[in-house]
Amino acid sequence: MIQRQGYHYRLKTTPALRRSFAQYAGACRFVWNKVLAVNEGRYLAGVPRLSYYEAAWLLTRWRLSEEYGWLADVSIHALQHGLRDLERAYQHLFSGRTMPPRFRKKFLSDSFRFPRDFQLDGHRLKLPKIGWMRFGKSREIEGAIKNVTIRRDGKHWAVAFQTERAVDTPVHPSTSAIGIDLGIATFAALSDGTLYPPLNASRRLQAKLAKAQQRAARKVKFSKNWQKCQTVIRRIQATIAHCRKDFLHKLSTTISKNHAVIVVEDLQIGNMSRSAKGTVEAPGSQVAQKSGMNKAILDQGWGMFRRMLEYKQCWRGGVVLAVNPRYTSQTCPSCGCVSKLNRPQQALFSCIDCGYTSHADVNAAQNILALGYRERLNACPPR
């Protein structure tokens, strides 16, 4: 099988390198926004959007023009790969996977990618029109490097190598199966009774972030002091993201190593975290409470946790099954009674029919595992 893996390292930059990175990120952002604006205008006019090849042809004309000739200072491969990312965003939109692509802002997701013409020599990397740079090579890179991505990471810059290599089809060392119920009070409850508390990375640094944002609001926008405050804000936000990713990586690795089959909930996180404001004609109710709930949901990183489980299980030869979580927290595993009265408290499950009691989240995880077994049997009935 073909195993794809990414390797991330922090770059050792100089002022000249940081200026070059900012130039490349700005040029890729400009091309993305320019083509996106053209496509939106064509949509309003009833004209089909530009394909990748048409946008690439237009990019060549821009690089040769007097108005946008400064784009020629940036490698064409980085700009073209940005157009490929935009084309991929449209494909995801048409398949119903994501929302429409949005205009990019400075300092938010600043990145650019090279699919070719780069050189790697130990802990040194050479990029077209930028030159050599060093990075902290904390581990060896395995496989053939397909592309190199440079991105802003708080106040630092980082490099990511995407690799591919052929490996033997793995066989998971374990034979056990587990069901996982995700929540806010308890991040993950396993069907074997194990409970993992949430990290709540955003909540831990919420006061510090709010204070930094208040300082920035009192500064003149785009002034030197305002830019310094924005640097502090980005540093805090990067810390939150790093803490969350570290927590999810460690937990997903532990679960993936010990269980061959993992059954999770097929959560519609976008619907769960949708705003309750409503409209002027039909305003929503309990908007503040729903806003706090939405923030808590997004702070957990459920979608990222599921993606980590899926690719780590693929690497180890395991499988991840997603089931509909409807009524899993209200169903009694002993008698099958389904009622919202079965959950009188947040952490308590007590069946009103047979009297069975258990931890509410563990009970839901057991129902999720049983549902996964049933769906698997229905998909692959015995001969």
pLDDT (tens digit per residue) in 228-272:
999 999 999 999 999 999 999 999 999 999 999 999 999 988 888
pLDDT band for 356, please (50, 70, 90 cuts): very high
Distance CA 99, CA 90 (A): 9
Q: Give the burial string for 232-256 (b: 16+ CB within 10 Å, else e).
A: bbbebbebbeebbeebbeebbeebb
Helix count and strand count (H, E) for the chain: 10, 14
pLDDT (tens digit per residue) in 205-221:
999 999 999 999 999 99
> What are the residue numbers of the active site?
181, 265, 361
Q: Does residue 278 surpass a pLDDT of 80? A: no
Distance CA 152, CA 28 (A): 13
Q: Is residue 153 classed as helix, strand or coil in its secondary structure?
A: strand
**Residue 18: predicted pLDDT:** 95
Distance in Å from the first CA to the final CA of the chain: 28
**Mean pLDDT in residue range 47-63:** 95
Distance CA 258, CA 347 (A): 26
**Mean pLDDT in residue range 32-48:** 95
Residue 259's closest CA among 203, 198, 318?
Answer: 318
Contact by Cβ (8 Å): 261, 172: no
**Residue 49: predicted pLDDT:** 94
